[in-house]
Structure 1
Amino acid sequence: MKKFVFFIAFLITAVSFAQQERELKLNKDTNLIEVVYYHDNGVVSQTGYYTLDGKLQGEWLSFDAEGNKLVSANYDNGKKVGKWFYWTDKTLKEVDYSNNAIASVSEWTNKSKLAIRD
């Protein structure tokens, strides 16, 4: 019951203070809140999941106003984990997180076709 009350309070707060358009949907199978944020032009800005207690969970993706992928990030119960990818026109950066801290950083230039932005 406590989680349900928190979930309702979270939804009301999220909707009340929204600066961007967003969609919230509870996935009953995973007990995660699926979120989609939108740019002013209607293009998806971010997608990801929250736990019922408001922590970031799983894969989060960020896009620019034209729909190009900018960031692929991973969270586990609000902590940064695994490989994160940052795309620009000229580079791809891979940041590896361990214990919520940066463990390593790699960078590639756009001269190779190593990784393609979807």
Structure 2
Amino acid sequence: MKALINIIIMLFCITVFSQEQKVDYKKVDDNMVRATYYFVDNNSVVEREGFFNKEGKLHGSWINYDMEGNKTVIANYKDGKKDGVWTYFKNDKINIVTYKENKIINVEEKALVVN
């Protein structure tokens, strides 16, 4: 019985870790690389995209999507740190968080009105 449980756990681990996320990198210029990450379950649907600077740190705008292609987060980084306005899209509201060097400066919540 114990051996059977160990085999099941091992098969589960192999299945979980065998899936690799598809990532495309495109050099924009000498200082920036655009990265596009795709969902593991459907590697034709973009999960998030944004930029890395020449040091390999997150830099500029990053956008996260759900499986239907709707934006869930618009984020901004400066040399690997959260900096600027981040917009979080939820069902019926938008949360707007302003960061400065990874520190929260301001938080707002707005109702999302769809006509």
Both structures adopt the same fold (TM-score exceeding 0.5): yes
Separation of aligned partners in 1, 2:63 and 2:100: 19
Q: Percent identity?
A: 38
Aligned-pair CA distance for 1:76: 0.7
How many residue pairs were aligned? 94
Q: What's the TM-score once normalised by structure 1's chain length?
A: 0.73
SS at match of 1:55: coil
Aligned-pair CA distance for 1:54: 1.3
Separation of aligned partners in 2, 1:32 and 1:19: 24
- Aligned AA for 2:93? T
SS at match of 1:56: coil
Tell me which structure has the larger Cα radius of gyration.
2
Separation of aligned partners in 2, 1:87 and 1:65: 14
What is residue 20 of structure 1 aligned with on the other side? Answer: 21
What is residue 9 of structure 1 aligned with on the other side? Answer: none
Which stretches of structure 1, 4 residues or more, deviate above 2 A after TM superposition?
none
- Aligned AA for 2:22? E
Cα displacement string for residues 11-68 of structure 1 (whole angstroms, at most 9, x for unaligned residues)? xxxxxxx93111011112x521110011132211101011122100000000001100
SS at match of 2:20: coil
Q: What's the TM-score once normalised by structure 2's chain length?
A: 0.75
SS at match of 2:59: strand
What is residue 95 of structure 1 aligned with on the other side? Answer: 97
What is residue 70 of structure 2 aligned with on the other side? Answer: 68
Separation of aligned partners in 2, 1:93 and 1:19: 31
Separation of aligned partners in 2, 1:49 and 1:27: 9
Gaps of 5+ in 2: 1-18
Change in Cα spacing, 1:19 to 1:52, as seen in structure 2 (3 Å) is: farther
What is residue 34 of structure 2 aligned with on the other side? Answer: 34
Aligned residues: CA RMSD:
1.6
Gaps of 5+ in 1: 1-17, 114-118
